[in-house]
Structure 1
Amino acid sequence: MQEQIVENKKSIDWFTESRFGMFIHWGLYAAIGKSEWTMYGQKIPVKEYEKIAATFNPKRFNAKEWVSVAKEAGMKYIVITAKHHDGFAMFKSETEPFNIVDSTPFERDPLKELAEECAIQGLKLCFYYSHVIDWHHPHSIHEHCNNTWDYQLEEKSFYNYWNRLVKPQITELLTQYGPIGIIWFDTAGGLSKKDSEEIVQLVKKYQPDCLINSRVSHWPNFGDYQSKGDNEIPMYGEGTKAWETPMTLNKSWGYNEQDDNYKTTESIIRKMVTIFSKGGNLLLNVGPTSLGEIPIPSVEKLKEIGAWMNENGEAVYGTKESPFPYEFDWGAITVKGKKVYLHIQNNKWSTGSIRINGFKSKVKKVYLLSEPHLNVPFEQNSVEFVGLYNLHLNLQNEPPSEFISVVVVELEGELQIDSTFIEQSGMIKLDLGHSIIEKEHDHNVAKWKVKIAEKGKYEIRLITYKKAGTNWADEFNQDMILRFGNKTKNVLPKEDKIVTDSDNCQYPYSEVQSHLGTFDIETIGLFSLELGSNRIKEKAKGPEIWQAEAVKIRTIQIIKTN
């Protein structure tokens, strides 16, 4: 049993090979058109909320169209909200009449229709289920987000809810819709370890190969893979388990008629390849309307993504993460066998060349993925006495693909790289996740070793993510201690630059860059870099609370300025 809780090794392969899935937030809240937390935000009484069901008639819902949109986008699985926090079941539930078949004029089971269509089109169907939060049920108890406007907290009996609704409905989902790829749980605040184990056992009893995400529990080591925070792209060095980022196309999950804040297609694809290069999956969300239609802007974005995936899918599906434990300024890397895929952002293509330090493998040939007959000229050389290995590519004048173009580096033998941190074309990012954190006096110190390949002046920047509404001065009111080589600086970080379209950061966070200092590097080779601050925390040993921190320290960036 413990083996299944830690990781379902038998069935995780399909998940990691798929890389790309569709999240669908669809429920009774679509009729209000203000997203899925409206009942809680407006403290809508249960009796009033139930009346909305009488008007909910998604007569334009078409399972074939939905699955076709996902398939055309290059998605391999669909996760749909079978029951969200409002307690409304989007399937025929014998356990609770507050469901789409028994309480609405629609009188159809959309999950049944999606299951049939997914089987026809070859996608895996997966179910989201809110197992702890349920504002409709009088006995649901969460750590924080409870319905206390209808029900008295002290009168709640959790096991009434747990045994009479949750377990029976999960049983229904696992026994009436064929093979299910994932049961995607959410917000497990306050759930005991015993109850966490019990719900995992229930899923595995009916479908042993069904995956369970880590949000089933806040206790460590639960789930077959890790769900990152909403819209969170992790830093390097955070763990080895398979993982997935759930991401919105705009700012909302459920349908919000006022939210037209859509990411650009280019921004989505940049974030996608960043996720893939770190070994993760992207679960990209749509929020259908009360009529059962995926909003037109979402469909248009997905078609554009699909066109890119159709051309570049070889560099996505079944690939492994980049062998380099840091980001590249020009894009991202994925690997499959003896092929290394360089996902080069088109705005970086115009530089005419790409240089990769630390590339030790002998290269057989280099070509464009979209035009395999077009070879890319390359050179390899090394400086043995300092352990520097270099691959230099000469790019053609124009990028061959829209948004991001993929160059294939085909190897003669197995892939070998220098896995130490090496400055790449005058820049390197050192994520906090790969540092060694030690206690010194009243603060922690993050420590890295970095190889500098060129002499010159180097600027050190701190990259943090700041949550919307946070006052910077409240968070940074003490100097940080920065050591690079044998030089030390004390500096109070400021909001020197706000990056509005970061490859890694998105709403509700924004990327902040802070200048920490400039250093003269007079010799090439290995240097130590240390950052001391009372804001640096020890690495988490278990699941973290999603989006809890006002400011997250992410990265130290080293940039050659001359």
Structure 2
Amino acid sequence: MNKRITWLSFLIVLSMTAYSQNKTSKAVVKDFMNKRFGMFIHWGPVSLRGTEIGWSRGKDVPVDEYDSLYKEFDPVLFNADDMVSIAKQAGMKYLTITARHHDGFCLWPTAYTDFNIMHSPYKKDIVGALAAACKKQGIKFCIYYSVLDWHHPDYPNHSPSGQDPDPKSDMNKYIVFMKNQLKELITKYDPYMLWFDGAWEKPWTEEMGRDMYAYLKQLKPDVITNNRLGKEMAGIDNAKIDESKMVGDYDTPEQVVGKLNMNMPWESCFTICNQWSWKPNDKMKSLRECLAIISQTAGGNGNLLLNVGPMPDGRIEARQATRLREIGDWLKTNGEAIYNTSGGPYEPTANYATTRKGNNIYLHVIKTDTASITLKNLPGKQVKNAHVLNGEKITVENDRDSFRVLLPTALAGKQEYVVVLELNGNAEALPVIH
């Protein structure tokens, strides 16, 4: 027994050493963070019922029925080029598809389980089609993969409750299955980023996450991963985390804008409606809400992954596609204040956010029915000029401890806009101003 413990400890130390030596290069992560805006796609046979992907299994939809939905899944109107084109029109720079969610169904023709798209009436590789369309249109292709699988016999939990783990399950076999599938995904589709999920479940340990990260780095050294291979994540609670304990390259606040952080990369994921997967008549966020989230996320120095759920026939719902194009139209004018910027120096609020690049601070005016915005003075810097991005010059009034930006009355109550504050020095070198 002692020898076994010693050997296991050695393997864990070896895995952790490999993890620390194979972190994704800072340049690659920086390139990812400069993109700022991506599309998340949650999709699978569950769209036939309009209930939540994974979480409705055994709750809203009986397990046997849920697990048989793939036999009806035939999204004949799915067109990868159209879907990627919508992402591009929205100003999104990368796309992430749920290749396998917690329910275990695979949207690609995997060799390691029959529970996949080739055993549906559709019989076409959805992951492959999106990968090819992304490459053609210059969008970075990314893959979501859950570390848990309530359908797989070797994964101990077969429901979200985690009660009564299956005594016949075998996590060692399951991890081999995972590694085989991940090697298959990397080899076939060469993803820019892997978005993991589900590490909160008890069967999945921190050591497994570090071992998996090291394994992925052997397959593709510069593949980016989020931090949900490990237990250290902000998640839905937007918790403060210790970056040194994080397994992966960036943090993942969920359905909430992450906190301003100039050191640790992060990406908030939001749904365009309420549910991750498609739901008929689901309440959709207004354009004003979407733009506020984009600005507050960039202002906090993070990325935004905005989710859509395609319908059972394979199309993105027309109203969702329209909303995305509206976002894209706004970014055509204001993208300079989003892409390739740093967050800060001011912390985002409900009324405004700021980003910066070179000698410019971009003031995102979220609440447009206000006459002015007052900001603390910038240490060692002054505002030389101010103007609406691609628009009129505006006035800045200086005080001893602060300055006031007088906003144009013509834009009062209208859509969010951006004011450029031109400084007499480098805005990117400024400290965060609380």
Contact 1:286 1:298 in 2 (8 A): yes
Give the match for residue 263 of structure 2.
Answer: 240
2:187 aligned residue (175, 182, 202) = 175
State the AA in 1 paired with 2:410. E
Paired with 1:251 and 1:328, the residues of 2 have a C-alpha distance of 23
Change (3 A) 1:273 1:420: closer
Cross-structure match for 1:394: 406
Q: 1:43 to 1:154 in 2, by over 3 A?
A: farther
Tell me the alpha carbon deviations over residues 382-423 of structure 1, each in whole angstroms, 9 at most, x when there is no partner.
3xxxxx2x32333322129952110101112123768564xx
Q: How big is the shift at 1:50?
A: 4.1
Mark the runs of 5 or more structure 2 residues left unpaired by the alignment. 1-17, 233-244
Match of 1:223, as an amino acid?
Answer: G
Q: Which amino acid aligns with 1:206?
A: L
Tell me how far 1:28 sits from its aligned partner.
Answer: 1.5
Identity of counterpart residues, as a percentage?
A: 31
Distance in 1 between residues matched to 2:298 and 2:132, nearest whole Å: 29
Question: Which one of the candidate residues 115, 121, 136 is aligned to 2:137?
Answer: 121
Distance in 1 of aligned mates of 2:100 and 2:303: 23
Letter in 2 for 1:358: N
* Whole-angstrom distance in 2 between the partners of 1:354 and 1:147: 50
Residue in 2 that maps onto 1:265: 287
Q: Given that residues 266 and 403 in structure 1 are in contact (C-alpha distance below 8 angstroms), is that contact kept between their aligned partners in structure 2?
A: yes
Matched, 1:138 2:158: no
Checking the alignment, whether the CA contact within 8 Å between 2:109 and 2:125 is kept in structure 1 is: yes
What's the CA shift for 1:49?
A: 3.6
Q: Distance in 2 between matches of 1:142 and 1:284?
A: 29
Q: CA distance change for structure 1 residues 20 and 225 in 2, over 3 Å: closer, same or farther?
A: same
- Find out whether 1:224 has 2:249 as its counterpart: yes
2:374 is matched with 355
Q: What do residues 507-537 of structure 1 show as CA deviations (whole Å, max 9, x unaligned)?
A: xxxxxxxxxxxxxxxxxxxxxxxxxxxxxxx
1:364 aligned residue: 384
- 2:196 corresponding residue in structure 1: 185
Question: Secondary structure of 1:273's partner?
Answer: helix
Q: Which residue of 2 aligns with 1:485?
A: none
* In structure 1, distance between residues paired with 2:276 and 2:255: 11
Q: Which amino acid aligns with 1:159?
A: N
2:40 maps to what in 1?
23
Moved more, 304-313 or 411-420: 411-420
SS in 2 for 1:183: strand
Task: Give ranges in structure 1 of 5+ residues lacking alignment.
Answer: 383-387, 422-562
CA shift for structure 1 position 232: 1.9
State whether residues 24 and 221 of structure 2, in contact with CA within 8 Å, keep that contact through their aligned partners in structure 1.
no
What secondary structure is seen at the aligned counterpart in 2 of 1:347? coil
Could you tell me how far 1:143 is from its partner in structure 2?
Answer: 11
Q: Which amino acid aligns with 2:45?
A: L
Aligned to 2:275: 252
The residue type paired with residue 122 of structure 1 is: G
How far has the Cα of 1:40 moved from its partner?
A: 3.6
Max Rg structure: 1
Matched, 1:57 2:68: no
- What code does the residue aligned with 1:354 have? I
Q: CA RMSD in A?
A: 2.3
**Cα 1:129/1:368, change in 2 over 3 Å:** same
**Counterpart code for 1:410:** E
Q: Which letter maps to 1:369? A: L
CA distance in 1, matches of 2:433, 2:194: 38
Aligned residues, how many? 400
- Mean Cα deviation higher: 79-88 or 358-367: 358-367
Structure 1 residues 40, 279: closer, same or farther in 2, change over 3 A?
farther
AA partner of residue 27 (structure 2): K
TM-score (norm 1): 0.67
Q: Is the 8 A contact 1:346 1:399 kept in 2?
A: no
Q: 1:404 aligns with which of 398, 403, 416?
A: 416
Residues 5 and 221 in structure 1, CA contact (< 8 A), matched pair in contact too:
no
Does 1:112 find its partner at 2:128?
yes
Q: Quick check: 152-161 or 199-208, which moved more?
A: 152-161
Structure 1 residue 43, shift from structure 2 partner: 6.5
How far off is 1:7 after superposition? 5.3
Alignment of 1:319-398 (within 5 A): 319-324=341-346, 326-328=347-349, 330-349=351-370, 351=371, 353-360=372-379, 361-371=381-391, 374-382=392-400, 388=401, 390-398=402-410
1:190-212 Cα shifts (integer Å, max 9, x gaps): 32233112211221122111111
Q: Find the partner of 2:327 among 297, 305, 321.
A: 305
In 2, distance between residues paired with 1:142 and 1:403? 47
> Where does 1:278-293 land on structure 2 (aligned, <5 Å)?
278-293=300-315
Following the alignment from structure 1 to structure 2, what is the Cα–Cα distance between the partners of residues 62 and 109?
12
Which structure carries more helix by proportion? 2
Q: State the one-letter code of the partner of 1:125.
A: F
Query: Structure 1 stretch 182-191 or stretch 395-404: which is displaced more?
Result: 395-404
Q: Amino acid of the residue matched to residue 122 of structure 2?
A: F
Q: CA deviation at 1:144?
A: 7.6
- Partners of 1:4 and 1:11 in 2: how far apart? 16
Secondary structure at the residue paired with 1:129?
A: strand
1:67 maps to what in 2? 84
Question: Matches of 2:270 and 2:255 in 1, distance apart?
Answer: 4
Task: Please tell me the residue identity of whatever aligns with 2:355.
Answer: T
Partner amino acid, structure 2, of 1:376: I
Q: Secondary structure of 1:318's partner?
A: coil
Structure-1 separation of matches of 2:298 and 2:354? 8
Q: 1:314 aligned to 336, 341, 349, which one?
A: 336
Give the Cα separation in 1 of the matches to 2:248 and 2:185.
18
Shift in alpha-carbon separation, 1:213–1:143, aligned structure 2, 3 A:
farther
Secondary structure at 2:75's aligned position in 1? coil
C-alpha displacement of 1:17: 0.3
Q: Residues 22 and 217 of structure 2 are in contact (CA less than 8 Å); yes or no, is this contact kept in structure 1?
A: no
* Counterpart residue identity of residue 251, structure 2: Q
